[in-house]
Amino acid sequence: MTAIEPGRVVAVVGTGTMGQGIAQVALVAGHPVRLYDAVPGRAEQAATTLAGRLDRLVEKGRLDTVARDAARARLHPARDLAELADAALVVEAVLEELSVKRELFAALEDIVADDCLLATNTSSLSVTAVAGTLRHPGRFVGLHFFNPAPLLPLVEVVSGFATDETAAARAHATALAWGKTPVRCADTPGFIVNRVARPFYAEALRVYEERAAGPATIDAVLRECGGFRMGPFELTDLIGQDVNEAVTRSVWESFFQDPKFTPSLAQRRLVESGRLGRKSGRGWYAYGEDAPEAAAHTAGPEKAPASVTVRGELFAADALPGLIEAAGIGVTRKDDAVPGYPGWIELSDGTRLFLADGSAADDAGMPVIHFDLALDYREATRIALAPAARVAETALKEAIGLFQALGKDVSVIGDLPGLIVARTVAMLVDFALDAAARQVASPEDIDLAMRLGVNYPRGPLDWGDRLGARWVLDTLEALHEEYPTGRYAPSQALRRLAAAQEDDAS
């Protein structure tokens, strides 16, 4: 299927930030663009703003003056929907209310030609529902751009229940021709990114609600240990707490209040208080010239042990013994752990350091300190430790000194099952596996969407392959035992994959 030809008209309805961004993308790609807004004068204002954006592209060397002048000549504000009659594609970016969108597309269906592609940029509503009252829903698709649309490459091309394959393929080809990276997905709550990404926010909020760590510490651990570009608290402040909470609530309600998607009461209270993030001057953090900088909890310097014993295999943390030796600390290796089960790092007094496994350190019935999962233990600059109550203060100081000797800042948090990175990644992997098994999108498109849409350091399915399905399954089963609400119940897709990998290994 070929893309819509550059000479054909693209219309954008709704001239807010997203509508203007989509219009700019189409304009730079060579299309005549018609802008329409129900509020009188808004389309003309948006056209003026877009002209200024084109000037800035010239100043930055991304567009020459000839191309700018040609683009300006192709841009036309429309005062009436009837002026969109010759559009080959109409993209809607209006208020996120089903009735408003349905009314708009019902009107458009009487105006545009039969071969005109109709698209919604909704991020939270059902594409199928928006098209539900149309006479010809087969030509209707979701084209979910990410903000800012001119800069972010990802576009989710969403097929509703009645969408024709030819329409979805044409939309995909058009987004590709516009220089975007489109991914195909089914009409499921949250599509790919907003469905799979829920645990990134939800687990951080859960850690905060259990008072195991504060927002700045949680953000720092996920950035500096987990490798994420931004922490969830600073990211939701940027997105807008009201926007993020509304998406979470929409997905939860669309999945019939499945506990895996349960919203956070702490975030609801933040929204109710008007602390919406950067746009209101305060969210989880304060903003402005005089706002204090939030600091992560970082342990003071401690002396590293002279030597440690590594018992058994550390699996996802197998880089640590080499790093410890490189730091000048003696390492004695013993293979007396149970084969196939996680090993540990042992301090001189017998305290054991285990990679977080979804259980609480106190559950072990012995002096245990859990350390968090890292994207790469060589590159990580911070680690989180969670000690059991019976761990001696001297042993905790040794553990802190051990990781400090490896060049890591150390955050000591409460004895929380799964710590921060481990529980978050395990949930992301499981959500992605479940989405792939339900054919929401291909595994390749899921990983691509999560890397491009929310800048994850690794696609969750790739991450799961590296960790092994058994580690993910064990972590979630332990969390499910700690919190028997269904939130952490492993998906059937994960269980099947773990069994298949064990069969292959045998």
Over the Cα atoms of the chain, what is R_g? Answer: 26
Give the contacts of 386 (CB within 8 A, at least 6 positions apart): 212, 356, 361, 369, 370, 412, 413, 414, 415, 416, 419
Q: Report the phi/psi class of residue 350: left, alpha or beta, with left for phi > 0 and alpha for psi in -120 to 50.
A: left
Per the structure block, which two tokens stand in for 62? 């991304």
Residue 203 has, within 13 A of its CA and on its CB side, a CA count of 29
Task: Write out the DSSP string of 4-32.
Answer: PPTTSEEEEE--SHHHHHHHHHHHHTT--
Q: 98 in helix, strand or coil?
A: helix
**For residues 393 and 380, is the Cβ–Cβ distance under 8 A?**
no
Report the run of H or E that residue 88 belongs to, with start and end: strand 87-92
Given 83, 92, 109, 156, the catalytic residue: 156
The residues facing 352 across adjacent strands are 346, 368
Given 126, 194, 250, 254, the catalytic residue: 194
154 DSSP assignment: E
Amino acid at 27: L
Distance CA 127, CA 449 (A): 18
Q: Please confirm, yes or no, whether 123 is among the known catalytic residues.
A: yes
Per the structure block, which two tokens stand in for 348? 């001189």
**For residues 300 and 396, is the Cβ–Cβ distance under 8 A?**
no
Q: Is the dihedral of CA 286, 291, 296, 299 positive or negative?
A: negative
- The number of angstroms, rounded, from the C-alpha of 426 to the middle of its chain's C-alpha atoms is 14
Given 31, 144, 172, 370, the catalytic residue: 144
The angle formed by the CA atoms of residues 67, 71 and 76, to the nearest 5 degrees, is 170
Distance CA 473, CA 494 (A): 7
Q: Please confirm, yes or no, whether 398 is among the known catalytic residues.
A: no
The residues facing 501 across adjacent strands are none
Residue 295 CB coordination number (10 Å)? 10
82 DSSP assignment: G
The number of residues in the chain equals 506
Q: Please confirm, yes or no, whether 156 is among the known catalytic residues.
A: yes
Q: Please confirm, yes or no, whether 194 is among the known catalytic residues.
A: yes
**For residues 222 and 420, is the Cβ–Cβ distance under 8 A?**
yes
Distance CA 292, CA 289 (A): 9
Q: 157 in helix, strand or coil?
A: strand
Amino acid at 156: E
Catalytic residues: 123, 144, 156, 194
